Structure 1
Amino acid sequence: MKEIKAIIQSFMADHVVAALREMPELPGVTVSEVRGFGRGRALDASSEPKDAEIFGVKKVKLEIVVPDELVEKVIEVITRHAHTGNPGDGKIFIAEVSDIVHIRTGGRGKQAI
């Protein structure tokens, strides 16, 4: 099992989530509004910093746990629907998940996804 975390432009979130909803095998997606900055950050010393410069640009974080066989398909859907070709399109992180526990049922592993 893998956890996929994607940080994407907030204005692309509806488009990406709609595409993910079209995947019947996808167990679900957690969507969070976040702020952050990357390499392109710079403060102009001659002016008052804006919120985005202090706290980072508004982004959306998608968190998805999937069986290994779905990882590439999920990555492809996210990249296809989040891509604008401009700086700040985002990043996707993939990490191993050693176990999952479903709180209501107590189920574990793939059955808990």
Structure 2
Amino acid sequence: MLMIRAIIRPEKVGVVLSEMLSADYSAVTKLDVYGRGKQKGIKVGDVHYDEIPKVMLLCIVNDEDKDDVVKIIMKNAKTGKEGTFGDGRIFISPVTEAYTISTGKPGL
């Protein structure tokens, strides 16, 4: 099992979640987050914005589903504007165990 964490622009969340649901990846946790990337925030005129609003999507998938989910996120979270930054990042981590609380059963 793998945990996919995608940090994306808030305006892209709807289409990403819709496409994930259409592909039968419905189990997703959504968190509003704030941060900055390699650019250390953005500067507009004299104002420096250090904390940029983003959304983090978390989902646990079987190893064989990783590439499908990553492709869905990449395709639908990208703005398509060359030379711009801030479309986000995807992080993938191993999950060694998972349990359903109501049943106590292991796995997804």
CA–CA distance in 2 between the matches of 1:27 and 1:61?
15
Aligned to 1:98: 96
- Aligned identity (percent) is 32
Instruction: Look up the match of 2:68.
Output: 73
Partner of 1:13: 13
Name the structure where strand makes up a greater proportion of residues. 2
For 1:29-49, what per-residue CA distance to the aligned partner results, in whole angstroms no more than 9, with x for missing partners? 1111100101112576x9465
- Flag structure 2 segments of 5+ consecutive residues without an equivalent: none
- For normalisation by structure 1, the TM-score amounts to 0.83
**What displacement does 1:101 show?**
1.2
Pairwise mapping of residues 1-113 of structure 1 onto structure 2 (< 5 A)? 1-24=1-24, 26-41=25-40, 47=46, 49=48, 52-53=49-50, 56-85=51-80, 86-109=84-107, 113=108
Q: 1:102 to 1:34 in 2, by over 3 A?
A: same
**Count of aligned pairs:** 104
